[in-house]
Structure 1
Amino acid sequence: MQKEPSPLVPLHWFGSGYAALVASGRIIGYVKAGSLPSVPAGLFFRGLAGLGAYQLSQDLRNIWVFLAASGTLAGIMGMRFYHSGKFIPAGLIAGVSLLMVTKLRIRMFSRSHQS
């Protein structure tokens, strides 16, 4: 069995940082706008992102929860940014979520072409 070369920074480290950023977006949303719905929504998506990062740390092929969480956040926060024009937190979370989706998709396609 051939061992896959390890990347410079493991993917699950990006996932853990992303989960922390989602949590901070929840806090910023509550402090700046007093948005109470951002609290449970932020906790839910932070939990999904954290679970996805944990699953990635166990098996790099297990990306589905993380991909679903970051893809959903990219869509929701992208629409919020489009309608409000406010970069913090909607534009920031949308942009980073889109980067995570892109990174995960590249990972998926590079693994499928190696097999």
Structure 2
Amino acid sequence: MFPHLLLVQLVCCNSSISQDSDKLFNIFESVSNMSVDWVGYGYATLIASGGVIGYVKAGSVPSLAAGVLFGGLAGFGAYQISNDPKNIWVSLATSGALSGIMGKRFYGSRKFMPAGLMAATSLVMVGKLSLAMLQKPTES
């Protein structure tokens, strides 16, 4: 039933009827205007799954704890960016910290998996967020 309500909302969202319709259709209005940070959610998933894989393969509880903690922070940051594209600070701090931590581990071990992969991915996220911060806001 829920997908049907979304379909009705998407069909009616640009018409003048949706402005005067009852509250059932207006509850999805803010959701339809929101852009989702898919890259941020993918990054959070990669971090959390890396912690789980480290726990399953090596029995590393610190890997699991760090993966869940940093994955949760990255997911929260992606949620904040999805609601307000200017609110990048949690994502930037999380990816900056991970790029530093995992970059140091990669420098010491010279093994690409997992430290090099996480350092490179975190650096890409820092670059993406830095570019988003430098862009001028668009007027609507």
TM-score normalised per structure 1: 0.83
- Structure 1 Cα separation of the partners of residues 121 and 36 of structure 2: 14
Q: Does 1:45 align with 2:47?
A: no
Aligned twin of 1:6: none
Worse-superposed segment, 65-74 or 18-27:
18-27
Aligned twin of 1:22: 47
- Structure 1 Cα separation of the partners of residues 93 and 101 of structure 2: 12
Structure 1 residue 32: Cα displacement:
3.8
Residues 19-69 of structure 1 deviation map (CA, whole Å, 9 limit, x = unaligned): 001012112322343322111111110110000000011010000000000
TM-score normalised per structure 2: 0.69
Relative contact order: is structure 1 or structure 2 higher (C-alpha 8 Å, sep ≥ 6)? Answer: 1
Aligned twin of 1:108: 133
Identity of matched residues, %: 60
Aligned length: 105
Q: CA RMSD in A?
A: 1.8
Question: If you compute each CA radius of gyration, which structure gives the higher value, 1 or 2?
Answer: 2
- Structure 2 Cα separation of the partners of residues 111 and 30 of structure 1: 42
Gaps spanning 5+ residues in structure 1: where?
A: 1-9
Structure 1 residue 72: Cα displacement:
0.3
Structure 1 residue 87: Cα displacement:
1.1
Q: 1:26, 1:43 within 8 Å by CA — same for their partners in 2?
A: yes
Q: How does 1:1-115 map to 2 (within 5 A)?
A: 12-111=37-136
